[in-house]
Amino acid sequence: MHEEVIAKRAKIPPHHTLTSLSLTHVQFSGDDIYSKIFAHLTLSPLAIICGYIAVVLTTRDLTVVTMFAGQLLNEGINFVLKRLVKQARPTEYLGDGYGMPSSHSQFMAYFAAYMILLVYRNGASSGIVSPHFISAVVTLWSLLVVYSRVHLYYHTWQQVVAGSICGTLIGVGYYFFTQKFLRSKGMQDWMLDNPLGRWAHIVDREQMDHVYRWEWEQFQQWRKISQGKKSD
């Protein structure tokens, strides 16, 4: 038995040859409660990506699909910019790759900019949550994530400011490109009518007024029909 344990341990690579997955590996000061809070906040982009996927799969809404596509484009631009600028992080042992511009800051800035424009365009018609409230929450959330990158020494102020500016510009530019140009050219109809859009059952709720009220009314009608069948 002892020989079997030794044999198994021999197959485990030594500690110094292992590396961490920096996507989820966040280092922080254990004796600082704020560092612990910011360590959780800095993982927000992962939660947002999961949210994108969940909403796309459950609603099949073209607006969310378009916003998610822009988010991925934003990440691709950040990937290119980092390798063009080639500026190191403030601490060499925190994070892999280059630090300028901050990808977390660029991610959150795009998300906030696009979301704010979206809710002011469509949020008021839903009548559920005030666009002002949503904008305030998203802005505060983004600022906290941006600050977390500096507080945890993963980026300098210059790097997070550059990332925030890039993300905001991309978010605003992409929003007006998709909403003002592509929609005016009928691109959304093409995406809804092509075989892939039909196969995925993509819908465009932006074409409907008070969509949540309409969906609720449809659900109530379905309930009445369903209850009527049960009573028969």
| CA dihedral of 102, 105, 111, 116, whole degrees rounded to 10 | -140
Confidence of residue 194 (pLDDT cuts 50, 70, 90): confident
Spell out the domain ranges in the chain: 30-214
Half-sphere exposure at residue 69, Cβ-oriented, CA atoms within 13 angstroms? 10
| pLDDT > 70? residue 6 | no
The stretch 179-194 carries a mean pLDDT of 75
For 143-177, write each residue's pLDDT tens digit. Answer: 999 988 888 787 889 999 999 999 999 999 999 88
| pLDDT, tens digit, 9 for 90 and up, residues 98-137 | 888 988 899 999 999 999 998 887 765 555 678 888 889 9
Reported residue count of the chain is: 232
What's the chain's average pLDDT?
A: 79
Q: Could you tell me if residue 155 is left (phi over 0), alpha (psi between -120 and 50 degrees) or otherwise beta? A: beta
Please give the pLDDT value at position 17: 54
- What are the C-alpha distances in Å from 15 to residues 64, 105, 171, 191? 43, 32, 42, 50
Q: Give 5's pLDDT tier (boundaries 50, 70, 90).
A: very low
Question: How much of the chain, in percent, has pLDDT values that exceed 70?
Answer: 75
Which pLDDT does position 142 carry in this prediction?
A: 93
pLDDT over 50 at 34, yes or no? yes
Closest CA to 187 of 197, 172, 201, 173: 197
Concatenating the DSSP letter of every residue in 18-37 gives ----TTT-----TT-HHHHH
Amino acid letter for position 17:
T
Token pair belonging to 40? 């959780």
Q: How confident is the model at residue 128, as a pLDDT?
A: 64
Helix, strand, coil % in the chain, rounded to nearest 5: 75, 0, 25
Distances 143 to 90, 106, 175 between C-alpha atoms, Å = 20, 11, 21
Q: Which pair of structure tokens corresponds to residue 56?
A: 């796309």
From CA 152, how far away is CA 150, in angstroms rounded?
5
Task: Give the pLDDT mean for 4-10.
Answer: 49
* pLDDT per residue as tens digits for the range 61-103: 888 888 999 999 999 999 999 999 888 888 876 767 788 898 8
**Ramachandran sector of residue 97 (left: φ over 0; alpha: ψ -120 to 50; beta: rest):** left
Reply yes or no: is the peptide bond before residue 45 cis, omega within 30 of 0.
Answer: no
How far, in whole angstroms, is CA 40 from its chain's centroid? 15
133/31 Cα distance (integer angstroms): 34
